[in-house]
Structure 1
Amino acid sequence: MVTPVKIVTVLFLKVCVVPCEFKLQGVLKMIKDIIPILTLFWSFWLWKVRCDSCEWVASLGLTYDLTPLQLTKGQQLQYYVVKDERYEDNATMSDQFVYKFNVCGKMLSVPSECKGSTFKWCQNIDLTTKTCSNEVALQGTGYAYQIRQTSSTSYVCHQLSNVHSNYTKLELLDPDEPAKGVVLIYKDGEWCDQYTTTKTYTHMKKTNREFRLRLECENNYYNIPDEEQVVENKCTYNVTMQSVYGCPTQCGIYGHSLCNGNGICSYDWTNKNAGCFCYWNRKGSTCEEESGAGEYLGVQPDRTKDKYMHTFQSLVSWHTDSGTDTASFVNVTYDYKLLHLAQGAYQTNDSVNPFLYYWNFLGTVPWSSLPISCQNAVNPCNVTKNPGCTNLGSNGETNGTAFQINRNNQNCNLLARGDVYSWNLYDSQHPARGVSFTYFDGGYCGNAHV
């Protein structure tokens, strides 16, 4: 006797959507064809994932999750509100710009100041003439709006996003430092072709508006967009904020603190993954465990300490396993020997002004790398010996560390001479984030009397 066997097909679907809006017709049709009776269940399940999830997997395998910042129905806030960088409490109304937006989702409702307004975006932009040949109405609620009050009861409103999710994307804040943060971009908002002039801002604008939320990875668990300023650049509106949600999820949160406040979130290019890099005496995926001094093996330099090495002693605090806060001093050593050039010099161009900079890292620039005019650069002034800073002479007898050259007339200024400099931590709260250098003893600047 053959026992009948009932074949059951189990379909597992995992949907990861950014933003929280997705066309499910194709998926639902497949489900209907396979399991008609479960269509309603799957529709509800997919809707739940769609509207509650705002995850993004970057090309390097990092995962970012902005879901906690998304405003949904039933929450206290209906939208985030931030102000333009030009906003002044006592300025005229024509200069006051306010921005309202949601994160990874449409506004829960159109702002009252924008109701009744008509918005159009350009589907076809002539890249040569910067003109629009086909303006189409934006029907529906957008993701972000700009509002300017023109009188006590009148407003001018612009929609900064499209109404469809396929005009929304996420990208890394800095591909060279993939754990540094993420940018949420709302593209193809209202067409922007007007000439705008305010007391601090003038330019021609011919493009679709765009809104960008730049989330920098920082140990700030409770920050939401509120006091951040908006910087406008040719119809692109940029908001920058520091948040733990700007960090990849591989860098864990422990006790409402990124890496337990006892490490930094970074990307490991060797192992191709992001994670918490713990300070001394700490371990674990979120630096939540005490490793014990006996387990710590400090990295020893391969040579005698010299001017290219510097050790900082920084006070670092963290949460202990028992739930209390504690702190201790941590030694952090930097070695920049490899950045020093034995021959030649670094060159840096000023993108705004006609200046070119020649400099070396913790060392002087050889004359062979400089224009001959730099031998006539003015020397520093010793105010004690020469109060009037007169008859200073030129720099021809001593090499310098940094020079500024005017590309228009080849005039050369000495910015630093010799080995007079100071080391400083880039971020004293996170001593492993890097250092900054200040070079001194530059040529006398007569205009500023320094």
Structure 2
Amino acid sequence: MPETITRPIALFWYRRDLRLHDNAGLYHALRSGYPVLPVFIFDTDILDRLEDRADRRVEFIHRTIQEMQDAFRAIDTSLIVRRGKPLDVFRDLLREYDVRAVYTNYDYEVYAKNRDGAVADLLRENGAGFHAFKDQTIFDRNEVLSGSGTPYTVFTPYSRTWHARLNDFFLKPYPTERYFGHFLSLNQRSVPSLEELGFTPLNEPFPERTVAGRLLRDYKETRNFPALRGTSELGIHLRFGTLSIREVALQAREHNFTFLNELVWRDFYFQVLDHFPHVETGSFRREYDRIEWRNDEEEFRRWCEGRTGYPIVDAGMRQLNETGWMHNRVRMITASFLCKHLLIDWRWGEAYFGRKLRDYDRSANNGGWQWAAGSGTDAAPYFRVFNPTLQAQKFDPKGEYIRRWVPEFNSLDYPPPMVEHTFARNRAVDTYRKALRPD
């Protein structure tokens, strides 16, 4: 073992920030005065809950970790990769190294905050510090508040304040590369294979990590049409931090306000999750928990499989099942159909998206599902029920997207609609009204 391992060191704990460049927590670790050892933990508290042993997110993380290990090798250090419960892993690391501090970046989910609190307590008991920084948002926590000092619960005023506060300071990158010489010198450590982690490789391609200027310029005009490649598909890179949010926001500010506003929505939902953690399991508007969902398991199965008899809904669900991704406009249509047409609890759909989406991010997806169900912050009114047929006519007028994913459409093999739209709309409105306006 290299002699330097006996020296006091700092650890940098990678989570949703899988890159070496422009990384806030890593920057502060490298300037801490200690040699820095980077660590990544395949968290079994998370992995053991996954239903599918072929999971695109795990494969993406694994592939990224391998790429990062090559980058670390080039600067004479190594990423330490462990599998296990974070507390157990840190107990081991404290025995193996003279750890004086752990640096990382904020996470906003309930599990993550509880996990970080437990790790911070363990470190404190062992004379080490725990330091976390903002990295996956432009503004977070209490940086965008109302005039009364409270968190916004409506997007439009939040967005106004967000844009008014934005300046070059908040988009400035962290120059981590200047301090790469501060990594602990280590021989290369191994990365467990995907199979050793208990997962089966899918060997599928992932979206590119860059955004073309033309896409950004055309985003407003193309983003609602699923037959076009009019969205960035950067969700997976933002979710796992292979791209810096500051870099993306800077490009968006230069090219397209509409795209930049999508990043504002992302910050907004992080803030909602951070300040109102009950949204993970319940309605933001608690009165919506009184809705009597039908929760028909057979109808839910048909929705999951893309066999509802509504082509735009079925196309979206089949795209999701086959690729791990669904066009944003179609996410709204499929979510509305489940909640309003079938009266199935939005949490069932949110959990299914959580199982299948390669870019699943709890805050944004929770916000989107609660919007569709009417229970969220900027929610669609309960009496607004998307008509899937009209949505298809408007956003897939030539049927190109539908034909791509539902080739049997217009044949005898395609099922009839599982519920008639006007009947479903009236049933949903009546059900919601009874729950929200009881006599």
Q: What TM-score results when the alignment is normalised by the length of structure 2? A: 0.21
Larger helix fraction of residues: 2
Q: What TM-score results when the alignment is normalised by the length of structure 1? A: 0.21
Structure with more relative contact order (C-alpha pairs < 8 Å, separation 6 or more):
2
